[in-house]
Chains A and B, each alone.
Chain A
Amino acid sequence: MGTDDLIETFRAQLRDDPDVASAVAAIRALLGFLKQDRGETIQGLRNSLRDAIDTLSRVDSSVAVSSGGELFLRFISLTSLEYSDYSKCKEIMIERGEIFLTKVSLSRNKIAKLCHPFIRDGARILTHAYSRVVLRVLEAAVESKKRFSVYVTESQPDEAGQKMAKALRKLNIPVTVILDAAVGYIMEKVDLVLVGAEGVVESGGIINKIGTNQIAVCAKAQNKPFYVVAESFKFVRLFPLNQQDVPDRFKYKADTLKTGQNLTEEHPWIDYTSPSLITLLFTDLGVLTPSAVSDELIKLYL
């Protein structure tokens, strides 16, 4: 399967289903790539998959695509350890890949079920930018007959907060869009902060749209709980110690990186929030404290 076909499959998925997570679309595209692969060895397969993942990262440079790709590679390695015959191995991989995709598509519902009891009747929630998982959680809370109101940050430079507000208004939830600068002002009125994540790092911290770190610091200062909702395929093998440690390839859009211009003039799209600011993480593996995240990653990768 050529690189163009791969990119086309990936893009087509994101077009046809705007609700699908980019990591899931990436894994599905890679699974299609695997099915059409003509190689005869595991080593050859891994190399061509690595190239495929690089291609996809050049299309969409988000952390989620990278972690989805990494997870898929790990999946291949684990399965190949069990079977020595290549064609049998490939059959099992394809079968398990389909099962994995089915399980992963249920993850948002699992998270919503775990998280909505934490939203009290009459709560005022602050959220940041546009997150489909947070939307699903709030939908589940509405279904369980809770009344609450939401403040969304506008989230410049792409005004993702407006998109979120529109989606929430469709669910009949009272929503107010606030300026990014107004977070410190609004924090005293808010009962809890609920954000999604583009990636969850090994320390238990998160990588999310720029502005999340600010909100977390304000929440900590005013003793408000800061909840993160993320699916388990977003767990990534990074351990940033500060903002500078987050690799440049995640901070900027793929197109900007390709032009090779001076990055000091560019605004980054993401920031890193440290685990000490996070109260709880809701994932499809259960409700986790930030210290439990590294355990999960160790179980998988080591």
Chain B
Amino acid sequence: ALSRRSGHRPDPAPHRHRPPAGRASHWLSRELMDLIRTEGQRMTAAQPSETTVGNMVRRVLKVIREEYGRLHGRSEESDQQESLHKLLTSGGLSEDFRTPYPSLRANVIEAINEMLIELEGTTDNIAMQALEHIHSNEVIMTIGYSRTVEAFLKEAARKRKFQVIVAECAPFCQGHEMAVQLSKEGIETTVMSDAAIFAVMSRVNKVIIGTKTILANGALIAVSGTHTLALAAKHHSTPLIVCAPMFKLSPQFPNEEDSFHKFVSPQEVLPFTEGEILAKINVHCPVFDYVPPELITLFISNIGGNAPSYIYRLMSELYHPDDYEL
């Protein structure tokens, strides 16, 4: 049973689902991988905008491949990825994962537990890097409410004094909640409307934001209003820093399938009380924005800071190419 808390941290939950599958007596890795893949397809179809679910399924599949490879006697350096080198030197087709290994199940469960520990520590890992990036008397801008950014700023506030401007991020105005949390730690916070982002940008030193998903080309799917913020920052040459844990990295490219977009009730944009106008207009309330990779300066994740052009490398370390399509 998968407990899906609404939009907040569905990430560890798919993992707790994995050990039950392991307890069934599936010794053949091929069957186990097919089972996990089917489950993954069902879960992602249920809520396509929750890309972390698919990411975790892919990481588990990679773990199984690695453990199988280790038991199969393949050397550690052998490249699992497609490459020109592999095209030239390989003697035949890829493995079929059919040899049973009794110790595979225990190894996989152990690796998954290690991954769970890593997941629980991601916010702290990111927050630890705060002091390198935030200096005294700086003006930082952010948008909406990101728990990662909140932890990041709170950690820096323990040793440095700086100001934060929060864009309220209409129509849900989660920026208000962020401002309340930050001011509890004694950080001087200002809340302003999204329309004022460009006007205030000239006085801002850095923009630090969270995101929903990181795409394979280094782009973001983030809360609506982030693209505006990114464009204003680019115009003023202000660095844009994205704080996001690695499980948000999804091996998908922004093609026109548009499965990332989510629209919710336009009640927040134009309330139903405005009945007369409603018949004559179309009202939309998109939840997410696409931010292209050229506007982003740095990604800070639990494994350190990286440029958007380096994302392809991180992806090849986390996932296997055969799993990009679940």
Residue ranges of A at the interface with B (Cβ–Cβ < 8 Å): 71, 74-75, 78-79, 92, 95-96, 99-100, 103-104, 117-120, 123, 232-233, 235, 280, 284-289, 291-292, 295-297, 299-300
Contact = CB atoms under 8 A, between A and B. Distances in A.
B253 interface: yes
Contacts, number: 70
B84 interface: yes
Contacts of B92: 99
A292 B84 CA distance: 13
B256 A289 contact: no
B87 A232 contact: yes
Interface in B233-273: 253, 255-257
B313 interface: yes
B79 interface: yes
A99 B91 contact: yes
A10 to B, nearest CB: 21
B89 A286 contact: no
Given A99-B91, A280-B253, A291-B309, 18 more contacts: A71-B88, A74-B88, A78-B85, A96-B91, A99-B92, A103-B87, A119-B256, A232-B87, A233-B84, A284-B82, A285-B83, A287-B253, A289-B312, A291-B312, A296-B83, A297-B84, A299-B84, A299-B85
Nearest to A81: B89
Contacts of B253: 118, 280, 287
Contact of A300 (B83, B91, B255): B83
Contacts of B90: 96, 99
B88 A96 contact: yes
A280 B88 contact: no
Interface string B50-71: 0000000000000000000000
B256 A117 contact: yes
B225 interface: no
B169 to A, nearest CB: 25
B256 A300 contact: no
Contacts of B218: 289
Contacts of B79: 299
A123 B309 CA distance: 28
A72 to B, nearest CB: 9
A117 B83 contact: no
B87 A288 contact: no
Interface residues of B, number: 25
A285 B84 contact: yes
A75 B321 contact: no
A17 B309 CA distance: 39
A118 B255 contact: yes
Contact of B309 (A95, A100, A289): A289
Contact of B82 (A118, A235, A286, A295): A286
Q: Which of A120, A232, A291 has the most CB of B within 10 A?
A: A291
A287 B325 CA distance: 13
Nearest to B258: A120
B82 A285 contact: yes
A73 to B, nearest CB: 11
A74 to B, nearest CB: 7
A78 B217 contact: no
A5 to B, nearest CB: 25
Q: Which of B218, B310, B311, B312 has the most CB of A within 10 A?
A: B312
Contact of A71 (B84, B256, B311): B84
A289 B217 contact: yes
A97 B256 CA distance: 38
B314 to A, nearest CB: 11
B88 to A, nearest CB: 5
A99 B89 CA distance: 10
Given A96-B89, A280-B217, A299-B84, A292 B255 contact: no
Nearest to B321: A286
A296 to B, nearest CB: 6
Contacts of B309: 289, 291
Contacts of A292: 312-313
21 contacts: A79-B88, A92-B91, A96-B90, A96-B91, A99-B90, A99-B91, A100-B87, A104-B87, A123-B256, A233-B84, A280-B217, A285-B82, A286-B324, A288-B312, A289-B218, A292-B313, A295-B313, A296-B83, A297-B84, A300-B83, A300-B88
B56 to A, nearest CB: 21
B216 interface: yes
Q: Which 3 A-B pairs give the minimum distances between C-beta atoms?
A: A120-B256, A291-B309, A300-B84
Contacts of B256: 117-120, 123
A74 B87 CA distance: 12
A22 B156 CA distance: 59
